[in-house]
Amino acid sequence: MIENVPEESSVVPVKTFMIPVEKIIAVERYTSVLQAAKLMRDNRIGSVFVTWERAIIGILTETDIARRLVGMGLDADQTSVERIMTAPIIKIDENKTIRDANVMMAREHVRHLGVSRDGTLVGMISVRDMVTFVSNLPKRWLMGSGGRHILEQIYGHP
């Protein structure tokens, strides 16, 4: 199930569990928040990329909807995703570790990070992706030194 995870490695790069940009659902900037929310519900996802003529210009998350739409009393059918999206997307290099991603998410107060290669957006990771990745690691690996290394990456100490 999990491929290319070194038995004794203390480094798990985010590219190991990122969602490639080609598989991420996107909506045009003028799309209503209501349409985007229905798309997110139907696909059981917590975010969509926002585009302008196929260029990714931001991300719309469940948190954006709660805080910037509902919290401000805006009409979901009359508000464009561009108005409440998060932009620019905060990025992490694909070779950074799961701990680096955890630290960056905590520091920036976000639950999603764009993953970049040479400055170009190539994917995305979320808190949910990190939890799923760790949950799917083989039990024998988690119970051994591999699990200790994962915990060190996440929490910064053994």
Separation between Cα atoms, residue 65 and residue 39, nearest integer Å: 13
Say what the pLDDT of residue 5 is: 44
Say what the pLDDT of residue 88 is: 95
Domain spans in the chain, listed from the N-terminal domain onward: 14-155
Domain 14-155 belongs to what topology? CBS-domain (3.10.580)
Say what the pLDDT of residue 45 is: 93
Record the pTM. 0.79
Q: What is the 3-state secondary structure (H, E, C) of 1-33?
A: CCCCCCCCCCCCEHHHCCEEHHHCCEEECCCEH
Is the model's pLDDT at 40 over the cut of 60? yes
Could you tell me which of 80, 39, 76 has the C-alpha nearest to residue 58?
Answer: 80
Contacts 24+ apart (CB under 8 A), 42-46: 46/111, 46/112, 46/126, 46/128
Separation between Cα atoms, residue 122 and residue 119, nearest integer Å: 9
Structural contact between residues 87 and 58, judged by C-beta atoms closer than 8 angstroms: yes
Q: What's the whole-number mean pLDDT along residues 149-153?
A: 60
Structural contact between residues 27 and 81, judged by C-beta atoms closer than 8 angstroms: yes
